[in-house]
Structure 1
Amino acid sequence: MLIEILFIFLFIVLNGFFSGSEVAVIATRKTRVTELEKLGKKNAQTLHKLKSNPDRFLATVQVGITVVGAMASGIGGASAIRALDPYVKSIPVTLISSYSEAISVAAVVLVISYFTLVLGELLPKSIALKSPEKIALIVARPILMFSKITSLIVSFLTLSTNTFLKIFGLQLYSQKSFVTEEEIKMFIREGKDIGFFEPEEEKLIHSVFEFT
Structure 2
Amino acid sequence: MTNTTLFIILFFLIIISGFFSGSETALMKINRHRLKYLKNKGHKAAIITEKLLQRTDKLIGIILLGNNFVNILASAIATIIAMRISGEGAIAIATGTLTLVILIFAELAPKTLGAHHPEKFSFISAYIYRILLFVLYPLIWFINLIANNLLKLFGVSLDDKKIDISRDELRNIVEEASGNNPHDYLTMLTNVIDLEKITIDDIMIPRNKIIGIDINESWQENEQFIVDSPYIRLPVYSDTIDNIKGIIHLKTIINSQIDKKTILDNCRDPIFAPQNTSLTDQLLKFQLLKRRTAFVVDEYGSIVGLSTLEDILEEIVGDFTNQNSHQTNKIIKQSKGSYVIDASISLRLLNSSLGLKLPLNSAKTLNGYILEYLKDIPKKGVSFLLQDNPLEVMRIQNNQVRTVKLIKIK
Q: Does the CA-based 8 Å contact 1:30-1:51 persist in structure 2? A: no
Higher Rg: 2
User: 1:151 aligns to what?
Assistant: 137
Gaps in structure 2 of 5+ consecutive residues: 199-410
| In structure 2, distance between residues paired with 1:114 and 1:144 | 31
User: 2:122 aligns to what?
Assistant: 136
Q: Does the CA-based 8 Å contact 2:24-2:60 persist in structure 1? A: yes
* Alignment TM-score, normalising by the size of structure 1: 0.77
| In structure 2, distance between residues paired with 1:173 and 1:77 | 42
Find out whether 1:72 has 2:74 as its counterpart.
yes
Query: Shift of the alpha carbon at 1:79?
Result: 2.4
1:103-114 equivalences under 5 Å are: 103-114=89-100
Greater displacement, 8-17 / 35-44? 35-44
Which amino acid in the other structure matches residue 39 of structure 1?
K
Greater displacement, 40-49 / 64-73? 40-49
User: 1:14 aligns to what?
Assistant: 16
Q: 1:155 to 1:130 in 2, by over 3 A?
A: same
| In structure 1, distance between residues paired with 2:35 and 2:193 | 32
| In structure 2, distance between residues paired with 1:192 and 1:142 | 34
* C-alpha distance after superposition, 1:77-112 (max 9, x if no partner): 1321223325xxxxxxxxxxxxxx2x3111101111
Deviation >3 Å, runs of 4+: 184-187, 189-196
| In structure 2, distance between residues paired with 1:145 and 1:175 | 28
Greater displacement, 190-199 / 111-120? 190-199
User: 2:194 aligns to what?
Assistant: 201
| In structure 1, distance between residues paired with 2:75 and 2:61 | 21
Two-structure CA RMSD over aligned residues (Å): 2.7
| In structure 2, distance between residues paired with 1:202 and 1:165 | 43
Q: Does the CA-based 8 Å contact 1:189-1:202 persist in structure 2? A: no
Greater displacement, 106-115 / 149-158? 149-158
Find out whether 1:185 has 2:168 as its counterpart.
yes
Which amino acid in the other structure matches residue 6 of structure 2?
E
Alignment: residue pair count: 187
Q: 1:176 to 1:64 in 2, by over 3 A?
A: same
Which amino acid in the other structure matches residue 204 of structure 1?
K
| In structure 2, distance between residues paired with 1:26 and 1:49 | 13
Query: Shift of the alpha carbon at 1:145?
Result: 0.7
Q: Does the CA-based 8 Å contact 1:24-1:132 persist in structure 2? A: yes
Q: Does the CA-based 8 Å contact 1:192-1:198 persist in structure 2? A: no
| In structure 1, distance between residues paired with 2:126 and 2:26 | 10
Gaps in structure 1 of 5+ consecutive residues: 87-100, 206-212
User: 1:96 aligns to what?
Assistant: none
1:15-94 equivalences under 5 Å are: 15-74=17-76, 76-86=77-87
* C-alpha distance after superposition, 1:98-142 (max 9, x if no partner): xxx2x3111101111111111111111100111111111111010
| In structure 2, distance between residues paired with 1:201 and 1:44 | 32
* C-alpha distance after superposition, 1:137-184 (max 9, x if no partner): 11101011112222122111211121112111112152523x665xx7
Q: Does the CA-based 8 Å contact 1:188-1:202 persist in structure 2? A: no
Q: 1:202 to 1:126 in 2, by over 3 A?
A: farther
| In structure 2, distance between residues paired with 1:142 and 1:155 | 18
* Alignment TM-score, normalising by the size of structure 2: 0.42
Considering fraction of residues, name the structure with more helix. 1
Which amino acid in the other structure matches residue 38 of structure 1?
N
Which amino acid in the other structure matches residue 73 of structure 1?
S
Considering fraction of residues, name the structure with more strand. 2
